[in-house]
Amino acid sequence: MLPVIVIIFFLGFIFSMLGLGGAMLYIPVFHWFGFDFKSVAIPTGLFLNGITALSAAFYYFRKKMVDVKGGMPMIITSFIGAPIGAWFTHIISTDVLMILFSIGMMVSGLKMILSSGKAEPKALMPFKQRAIITATAGLGIGFLAGLLGIGGGFLFVPILIAIGYPTKQAAATSAFVVIFSSFSGFAGHIAEGHFNLSLLIYASLAVIVASQIGARVMKEKMKAKWIKQIFGVLLVVVAVKLSWHFIF
C-alpha cells in the first residue's frame, strides 16, 4: 500500500496548489494499483477530493484568500446541475460529449499556458455580472459532473480567472467550492457501504499533510505565471487521458 500512498501524497501536494481536489487522478491511480473501480477507487477518490480541497481551503481561509460570497453561486447551481446531468445519461451519448469535453479542455489548457505571461487582472467584474456568469457556469459544470462522473474543480479556476480574480485567489476560492460537491458525491457511496477503511485512513492522512504543504508553497513561493502553466499542462494531460481510447 505504501507506493500508492506516496503517489497520493505527491498528487495532493500538486492539486492543493491549484485549488483542485484531484479525484480525476486519484481514482485511476487506485484502479491501476488493483483496487476495485466502483466499490473502492471512485468513493475513495471523491472523499480525498474533498479532504484535499478542505485542508487547502482551511489554510486559504486563514490567509483571507477565499471569496465565499463569490463562490456561492457556483456551489448552489452545481448542486442543481449534477442530478440533471445524471438523469441525462440515458439520453445523451456520453462518448460524444466526452470528445467535445476533451476538446474544450485542450483549448482551455493551451490558452492558459499561452496567456501565463500576461499581467494579473486589476479588478473584478461587478458582483451581479459575476454571479450570473458563475451561476450559469456552475450549472453547466454540475451537469457535466453528473453526466460524466468527474469533478469540476479544474473548470472553476479558468472561469474565475476570466472574470477578474487573481490567479491565487481563483485557486483558493475553487478549493472552497470543490469541498461541497466532493462530499455530497461520497455520501452516496457511503450509504451503500462502498469504501476500503484502511486505504481511506492512510490516504486521507497523506493528503491532509500534502495539501497543507502545497497551500503554503502556493501562497508563499509560487508565482501566478507558474500556477497557470502547471494548470494548463494538467488540463492538456487530462484531456488526452479522457480522449485516448477514442483516438487509438
Length, in residues, of the chain: 248
The HSE-up count of residue 120 (CA atoms within 13 Å, CB side) is 13
pLDDT at 67: 94
Those residues whose C-beta lies under 8 Å from the C-beta of residue 93, and which sit 6 or more positions away, are: none
**Other CB atoms closer than 10 Å to residue 83's CB: what's the count?**
12
Burial of residue 162, with CB atoms counted within 10 A of its CB: 0-12 exposed, 13-18 middle, 19 or more buried: middle
pLDDT at 122: 76
pLDDT at 167: 87
Residue bearing cell 445523451: 92
Angle 197-198-199 from CA coordinates, rounded to 5° = 95
pLDDT at 127: 92
pLDDT at 88: 75
Burial of residue 18, with CB atoms counted within 10 A of its CB: 0-12 exposed, 13-18 middle, 19 or more buried: buried
Q: How far apart are alpha carbons 9 and 3 in whole angstroms? A: 10
pLDDT at 87: 76
Q: Which residues of the chain have pLDDT under 70?
A: 86, 89-90, 94, 146-151, 188-189, 191-194, 242, 245-248
pLDDT at 246: 64
Select from 153, 151, 150 the least CA-distant residue to 171.
153
pLDDT at 191: 64
Using CA atoms, how far residue 227 sits from 26, 42, 152, in Å, is: 20, 27, 18
pLDDT at 193: 63
Q: How far apart are alpha carbons 179 and 47 in whole angstroms? A: 9
pLDDT at 134: 94
- pTM of the full predicted structure? 0.79
181, 116 in Cβ contact below 8 A? no
Element (H, E) at 205: helix 197-220
